Amino acid sequence: MMSMNSKQPHFAMHPTLPEHKYPSLHSSSEAIRRACLPTPPLQSNLFASLDETLLARAEALAAVDIAVSQGKSHPFKPDATYHTMNSVPCTSTSTVPLAIKLGVTQADVGSALANLKIPGVGSLSQSTICRFESLTLSHNNMIALKPILQAWLEEAEGAQREKMNKPELFNGGEKKRKRTSIAAPEKRSLEAYFAVQPRPSSEKIAAIAEKLDLKKNVVRVWFCNQRQKQKRMKFSATY
DNA sequence: ATGCATGAGGC
DNA sequence: CCTCATGCATA
């Protein structure tokens, strides 16, 4: 009951796939090979739309590159595909769309990936699974993870339930990382600076840090994260 | 679901 | 010091 278009998911042949980060994708693992085959007929809904979106994103990316190289502004319109994707099976919290029928959580999916025994592929966090599902990872990241999650889905469907626990590694000391919280006023200032200069020099960063009374490293990281976010936002932006 | 952070690899 | 993939902690 979808479209009759038969777009071929040709991502398996993506020319510049991963790099050092995904050695397994270059190995001749059977699992990987199977996973890279065109989306199988079964649970095709999610992956079919994923393929469409990835393709749309690739085109959008190309459009941006061309436009930028020609000194023009973004030539395309609000990205409808993005909303389509998010509306696919996106749910609220604990139960993941991908796994909803299997009754497992995003964290479950992430840790279960390690059981696939795919060379070079370990577990992933709830955060990453969540971001994969909401398409908020980078384009390449999406393409790299897709075959892995697809392999998991095949596995999960065949071999029923298997609750796995996350072996909380050794806990030397209670050194919980603390998350800095940048107040709204400061955040607004940072955004203003970012709009003018997304990549301030070390000196600028120091100046900004002092003016806002924040640690220099906090400001530096904020800009790094902002740049990463902006790249992903090219897709969801509503111009 | 998302903000701030870490670490690897690269220049 | 940057980018990129990824995750802990938290709202």
Q: Are residues A192 and A154 in the same domain?
A: no
Q: Are residues A158 and A211 in the same domain?
A: no
**Confidence (pLDDT) at A177:** 86
**Confidence (pLDDT) at A226:** 97
CA angle centred on A101, ends A159 and A30, rounded to 5°: 40
**Confidence (pLDDT) at A201:** 97
**Is residue A108, in this structure, part of any structural domain at all?**
yes
Whole-number Å distance, CA A40 to C1' C1?
A: 44
Domain boundary, last residue among A118, A135, A165 = A165
Q: Are residues A161 and A192 in the same domain?
A: no
Whole-number Å distance, CA A28 to C1' B11?
A: 31
Whole-number Å distance, CA A232 to C1' B8?
A: 21
Q: Are residues A115 and A161 in the same domain?
A: yes
Q: Are residues A151 and A207 in the same domain?
A: no
Arithmetic mean of pLDDT over chain A: 64
**Is residue A118, in this structure, part of any structural domain at all?**
yes
Q: Is A89 helix (H, G, I), strand (E, B) or coil?
A: coil
The residue-averaged pLDDT of A75-102 equals: 35
Domain boundary, last residue among A135, A165, A195 = A165
Whole-number Å distance, CA A183 to C1' C1?
A: 26
Q: Are residues A105 and A150 in the same domain?
A: yes
Whole-number Å distance, CA A4 to C1' B9?
A: 43
**Is residue A88, in this structure, part of any structural domain at all?**
no
Q: Which residue has the higher pLDDT, A90 or A109?
A: A109
CATH number at residue A111: 1.10.260.40
pLDDT digits (tens, 9 = 90+) for A36-70: 433 333 344 555 555 555 555 555 555 545 544 44
Q: Give how many domains chain A has, as a whole number.
A: 2
**Is residue A222, in this structure, part of any structural domain at all?**
yes
**Is residue A220, in this structure, part of any structural domain at all?**
yes
Lowest mean pLDDT among A5-9, A129-133, A224-228, A232-236: A5-9
The whole-angstrom separation of Cα A181 and Cα A167 is: 29
Query: Which residues interact with strand B by a CB < 7 Å criterion?
Result: A 19-20, 90-93, 106, 126-127, 130-131, 133-134, 136, 177, 179-182, 187, 217-218, 221-222, 224-225, 228-229
State percent of chain A over pLDDT 70: 46
Q: Are residues A101 and A156 in the same domain?
A: yes
The residues, any chain, with a CB within 8 Å of residue A175's CB and separated by 6 or more, are none
Domain boundary, last residue among A111, A130, A165 = A165
Q: Residue A20 pLDDT > 50, yes or no?
A: no
**Is residue A221, in this structure, part of any structural domain at all?**
yes
Closest CA to A153 of A94, A85, A93, A98: A98
Query: Which residues interact with strand C by a CB < 7 Å criterion?
Result: A 21, 110, 123-128, 131, 137-138, 140-141, 144-145, 176-179, 181, 199, 202, 205, 220, 223-224, 227-228, 231
CATH number at residue A203: 1.10.10.60
**Is residue A129, in this structure, part of any structural domain at all?**
yes
What DSSP string describes A151-206? HHHHHHHHS-------------S----------HHHHHHHHHHHHH-SS--HHHHH
pLDDT digits (tens, 9 = 90+) for A116-173: 888 889 999 999 988 887 778 887 888 888 888 878 877 765 654 444 444 444 445 5
Q: Are residues A104 and A150 in the same domain?
A: yes
**Confidence (pLDDT) at A162:** 43
Q: Which residue is nearest to nucleotide C2 (CA to C1')?
A: A224
**Confidence (pLDDT) at A212:** 97
Q: Which residue has the higher pLDDT, A18 or A45?
A: A45
Whole-number Å distance, CA A11 to C1' B10?
A: 26
**Is residue A148, in this structure, part of any structural domain at all?**
yes
pLDDT digits (tens, 9 = 90+) for A99-124: 544 556 788 889 989 988 888 899 99
Nearest nucleotide by C1' from A20 CA?
Answer: B9
**Confidence (pLDDT) at A116:** 87
Whole-number Å distance, CA A175 to C1' B4?
A: 16
Range of the domain at A106: 97-165
What amino acid occupies position A43?
Q
pTM of the entire predicted model: 0.62
Q: Are residues A194 and A224 in the same domain?
A: yes
pLDDT digits (tens, 9 = 90+) for A61-72: 555 455 444 443
